[in-house]
Structures are given as C-alpha cells and as structure tokens.
Structure 1
Amino acid sequence: MRRQRMTFQAIAVGDGGDGRWAAYARVLWQEMEGLLTEEGRTPEGADRVRVLFRAHMPELVPVLDRLAGQLDRPEADVFLTHAALRPFSPACTQIGRDGTLLRNYDLRPDQCEGAIVSSCFLRPVIGMQDMLWGLLDGMNDAGLAISLTYGGRSAYERGFSILIVVRYLLETCDTVDEAVGRLRSLPVAVPQNLTLVDAAKAVTVFVGPDMPPTVAPDACAANHQHLPVTDEQERAMRTQERLRAIRAAGVDVAAMLKPPLYRSVDEQGSRTLYTARYRPVEGRVTYYWPGESWQQSFGDFAPGFRTVHWGRAS
C-alpha cells in the first residue's frame, strides 16, 4: 500500500478582521470558487442567497461582511453565505454521552481542509473548519459542542450547507435546547444529522430539505435517518453496522480507532481522517489518529502543524 499523508494545522484567527483568516483563506480561494452552484454565479442567484442569509442568520451578517472584505475576491460574499454551494456527503460516525461528543470524520484527504481553528467572531469557538469558515464539528465557550454526519438521502433544495449551520448554532446558542429550537427555522440544503452535547443533555437531530428537524431515538448517528437502508447503501457505507458498533461502544476512543468505526481507504479514496473527542464544559477537544493525539482548549490553544501518515511505504 502506498503511504498516504495529510497535514493538519491549528490556527487562531481572532474576529477575522486582522488578516490572519484572510491569509489562510486566500490560499484556498481558487479551488473554493469551483464549488459555487451555477445559480450562485448569476446576479439573481447571488441576490437570493444574500437575502436568505440576512433573513436566517442576521447575527452573522457583520462577520460575513468583515470576512468577505478581508478576502476581497469576486463572489466571496456569495460563497461565504454557504447557501450556493455544491452538496457533499462525508461518511461519519458520532455519539454524545455524559458531556462528551465523540466523532469520526471520513472523507478523501484532498477534500478536507484539516484546519483546527480558534475564532472569536461573535464568541470563542474552536472547531474543525471547512469551506473557509464552516465547521465539521466544534464547541463554544458556553459548553455546547456539535458535529455533523451526512443523512444518507439524495434530497436537495435551496438552503444552507450544514457547515454554516454548525457555525451559526455555536456562535449564537448556549445550550442543546436553544440550538435545537433554532434549527427549526433554518433551511438546510441536503439531509444531515447533527449530534449536540452540553452539560445536561445529548441529542441527535435529523434535518433535511424535505422534513422538519426530528430528534433521533438516541444521541448517536452514522449515515442514515429513517429505515430501511438499501442493501447498496449498506455495502457502500456500512452505516447500520457502524451505528450498532458505536451504540455498543459508547464514548470510547479506542473503539473509534478500530474497524468497523475506523475506516481504511476505500475505492473512492475516502478514509477516517480524524477522531475528535470534545468535552465542551471543560473547553477541551482532543484529535486522535492511530498512535497520535493533539489536544486544544480555550485556555491553551497552540497553533501549529501535525502531519499524519497512513499505510506503509511501497
């Protein structure tokens, strides 16, 4: 097997206005531009997503304006609304229990930014950033943590990418109940599952463009919502197998680093890229890979780089 590797970085960007966020984002902008939908490239579509963002995420409008101004690129403000992006479907597994949020994130290494970002746009937030300021998972200073998985269905309508929804909830909510309440008014483009954890509660919520937010039977998720799962989907994603495994294991990091929860590279090049364990009341997150870990916290956030190697040299 040819060795794969990926470099993760930890960066602090403050409120996004001093150039640190822009220096990071400009490097990625050329490849990001291609992720805009055709509608988002039209004047009418651009106006539509700007209106959508102002209507549903008004608290973040000043932040978006600040970031887009720092980026100073055509269509930057449209991109940053996350309401005109091509959909994506990572295969992840996650669980919330006893004040802990534990998740595996599975995707191709070249499709993940791998940026652990400490920000203070509206409040202190730490998380794994994607699409320039969206979040795959994260926590805030109130002790709330959230992570996402793909919901496993092909429905699509106009709405927000789940990445900006995670960002918005962490920037504006203190508790699981508050975040679940806000979810009810947010249009989401594709089916997704969110697991939310605070000091008192852990829940998983199914969301999608064709359904109201629905609380799952327990606070764990893989890549399906409503049964049945087709045989083809199960062969490709092993979503039911992974859900059974994580329910049995609980918040056990060692189990997340072994099959079936830990996934080696598949035919499409996807694999488990990292495991994250959030303890939001303590303000701490630890990222894990086989044989390696990296802890970050609000009290001791350390910028830097980690290069992870998989497989063996051939």
Structure 2
Amino acid sequence: MSQQRLGFRALRVGDGTDGRWAAEGEAALRQAESFLADEARTPEGAARARRLFEEHMPELVPVLDRLAAQLPDPALAATALTHVGTRPFYAACTATGVAGVLLRNYDFPPDECDRAIVSSTFLRPVIGMNDSGWGLLDGMNDAGLAACLTFGGRFVHGYGFTILMGLRYVLETCDTVEQAVAVFERLPISLAQNVVLVDREQSVTLYLGPDLDAPIRAGEPTLSCATNHQHLPVPERQERESRTQERLATVRKAAAADDPVATTRAALLRPPLHVDAFDDGYGTLYTAEYHPAVGRVGYHWPDGSSWSQSFAAFAPGEREVTAGRG
C-alpha cells in the first residue's frame, strides 16, 4: 500500500469561445493525441474519424470545430478531439447508482489523468471530471442526469468512440436515463466498457463493447452497480488481479444498507473498493458523489478531505490531496 500527493483543479471554461478552454487545451491535446492509433494520424484516418463524428454526434460538430481552431495544430486537434480511432487503454473503477445518487471510484495511473473538474456550457451546463481534451470520466448535467464509466474487463477493441466522448455526448444532449440508453444503443464504442446512469427516477448499468450487437442492460430501477466485468465468467487470474467480483459484492452490500449513500461512500474509501497501489503507479485517484437532481457533486479522499461543486456555486481553484490510505 502507498500514498501519493495529487493536485486537482476546478476550471470554468464556458462554451469554449472565450479562450478559457484554449488556455488548457494544448496540454489536453497532447494527451488526446497520445491515444490516437497510427491509422487515425493519416489523412484517410482523419477523414474517417470526422465522418463518424458527424454521423453520430452532429450536435457537437460546431463545438469540436471551435475548440480545434484555437489550438496550435487545428487539423490534428480536430481528429484527436473526436476520440475516434484510438489505441486501447484500460482502467478499473467501481461505481453504483442508488437513491438518485451516483457514487464512484476512479482507479488509474495518476500521471495519465488530467485531474480537472470542469464546468462547461458547450451545449448546456455540465460539470464533470474532464480528460483528454473534453472527454468525461464522470459528470452530470442541468437536467438531473449523471453518468460514469468503468472498464468492462474484456480485452476487445474495435473502431468507434472512446467512452469518455460517449459520456460527454449523452450529458450534452440527453435529459434522462432512457434517452442516454437510446444513444448508447446506436453509438459505436471502441472498448468493453460499463456505464452507470442515474436520473431522478432510476439508475441503470449498461455493458457496452465493440463485439456486442446491443448494450446489455443490468441492474435494478433503484440500484445499479458496476466493477470490471460484464456478462461472461471472470477468469481466475483476472479475479486475483482485479478482485472485480469481490468488489461488486462489496459495493452491492453497501448500496443495500439502510443509509445507502453514506454506507457506500464509506465503503468506497477503504479496501477492497479503494485501491492503494501507488508504489506500482496505480490507485484510486478520487471518490465522486453526484447528486444530479440538485446539481451538486462532492469529491472525497481517505485523508478526510472533500471538495464540493455545484451548478449554483461552482468555485474554480486548486487543491492538493493525499490519495491512498498509507
């Protein structure tokens, strides 16, 4: 086990036209570009990515163009910011939607995460943990919809969008869980991913993958949980390394308690849900608690620190926290 001091930022970027997003955009582009596969770097690959984006996310095309135009290499930016044609990358994570609240741990190498809480108004007000330009690891919108990702545990790869852009798109264009489900039924996602969606009425877990004809809907109307496996048996070695089934059982038990939000929050801040492996370059970077019906989110760490943000009172700034329990 280990601990690591990590810096987090909260940024307000507006609709992307006034330079605030561009001030962060060059570094964000480098990260987004680092995930591009070789084919996407060719003129043919760039054109193919553009066509897929225009077909499936037409509402965001003007936003893509105005963001890319502000960066030093607009052509490369326009491809990288589609989040199409990327190489595989894998995270872990635990998530649950219960009592109208989305709670999740994000587990990843700290040097490969932006650690930026971003308030934007590209198409509508959205707050979330931004990554790779304008992708989202988790977030909520002003309609009361929240969403997050976890890795699906199956090492399959196809042509499509990263789940980060999938989350951005549904939060920009959807009001409800059912609308978001309908989007994921038509949206090509490049990796096996689990998505937890929460609104005022229900929560849903979706299993997505480039080899699935349609998303698999899991969970109950009032309780959805996801770790890092889907509909297939988990190999013994994978369970030893990821403890995905153990973590799923743990978060389900916490979410079924009399006070599910407080019990789940506490469980996410300790093993086995909280991962402390920073000596190996990997661990739980933050615990998020979204209350989308009231437009509020809190980020929590085992050292007792928390950072709250909301649509009503978003406060830009910086925080340094201790990740890991030591």
Q: TM-score, normalised by structure 1?
A: 0.96
| Distance (whole Å) between structure 2 residues aligned to residue 84 and residue 142 of structure 1 | 31
Question: Structure 1: how far apart are the matches of 2:324 and 2:200?
Answer: 38
Contact 2:196–2:205 under 8 Å retained in 1: yes
Q: Report the counterpart of residue 296 of structure 1 in structure 2.
A: 309
Equivalent residues of 1:169, 1:182 under 8 A apart: yes
The sequence identity of aligned pairs, in percent, is 58
Amino acid in structure 2 at the alignment position of 1:306: R
* Distance of aligned partners of 1:222 and 1:297 in 2 relative to their CA distance in 1, 3 Å threshold: same
Deviations 1:6-46 (A, max 9, x none): 10000000001111101112134344433211011111111
Which residue matches 2:26? 26
Aligned residue pairs, count: 313
Measure the CA separation in 2 of the matches of 1:24 and 1:38. Answer: 25
Match of 1:305, SS state, is strand
| Cα shift readout 1:63-118 (whole Å, capped 9, x = no counterpart) | 00010011231410000000022222111000001110000000111111100000
Q: Distance in 1 between matches of 2:121 and 2:107?
A: 27
Match of 2:258 in 1: none
Query: What are the superposed Cα offsets for residues 211-244 of structure 1, whole Å, 9 maximum, x if unpaired?
Result: 1111013411000001310011111111000000
Q: Distance in 2 between matches of 1:2 and 1:19?
A: 38
Contact 1:139 1:278 (C-alpha < 8 Å) held by counterparts? yes
3-state SS of the aligned residue for 2:49? helix
1:257-268 equivalent positions in 2, closer than 5 A: 257-265=269-277, 268=280
SS at match of 1:188: coil
Q: Deviations over 1:243-285 (max 9, x none)?
A: 0000000132111101111111167421110000000000000
Tell whether 2:220 aligns with 1:215: no
Indicate whether 1:228 and 2:229 are aligned.
no
What is the 5 A alignment of 1:90-101?
A: 90-101=91-102
Work out whether residues 87 and 161 of structure 1, in 8 Å CA contact, stay in contact via their aligned partners in 2: no
Q: Map residues 1-314 of structure 1 onto 2, 5 A cutoff.
A: 4-73=4-73, 74-211=75-212, 212-218=214-220, 219-250=224-255, 251=261, 252-265=264-277, 268-290=280-302, 291-310=304-323
Please say if residues 105 and 272 of structure 1, whose CA atoms lie closer than 8 Å, have aligned partners that are also in contact. Answer: yes
5+ residue gaps in structure 2?
256-260
Does the C-alpha gap of structure 1 residues 65 and 227 become closer, same or farther in structure 2, counting only changes over 3 Å?
A: same
C-alpha separation in 1, matches of 2:30 and 2:50 = 21
The alignment partner of 1:139 has SS state of strand
Give the 3-state SS of the residue equivalent to 2:114 in structure 1.
coil
Q: Which moved more, 1:246-255 or 1:113-122?
A: 246-255
Aligned partners of 1:18 and 1:68: how far apart in 2? 13
Amino acid at match of 1:58: P
User: 3-state SS of the aligned residue for 2:321?
Assistant: strand
What amino acid is aligned across from residue 231 of structure 2 in structure 1?
H
Task: Tell me the secondary structure at the aligned position of residue 71 of structure 1.
Answer: coil
Distance 1:134 1:30 in 2: 13
Unaligned runs of at least 5 residues, structure 1: none
Q: Which amino acid aligns with 1:234?
A: E
| SS class of match (1:200) | coil
**Aligned residue type for 1:222:** T
On the 8 A contact 2:3/2:278 being kept in 1, the answer is: no
Q: For residue 87 of structure 1, what is the amino acid of its counterpart?
A: P
> CA-atom RMSD, angstroms?
1.6
Whole-angstrom CA distance in 2 between matches of 1:305 and 1:266: 22
The secondary structure found in structure 2 opposite 1:44 is: helix
Measured after TM superposition, the shift of residue 310 of structure 1 is 4.1
Shift of 1:309: 2.3
Native 8 Å contact 1:256 1:275 kept in 2:
yes
Partner amino acid, structure 2, of 1:66: R
Contact 2:284 2:324 (C-alpha < 8 Å) held by counterparts: no
Q: 1:2 Cα deviation (Å)? A: 7.0
CA contact (8 A) 2:26 2:72 kept: no
| Residue 312 (structure 1) shift | 9.1
Q: Give the Cα separation in 1 of the matches to 2:323 and 2:148.
A: 24
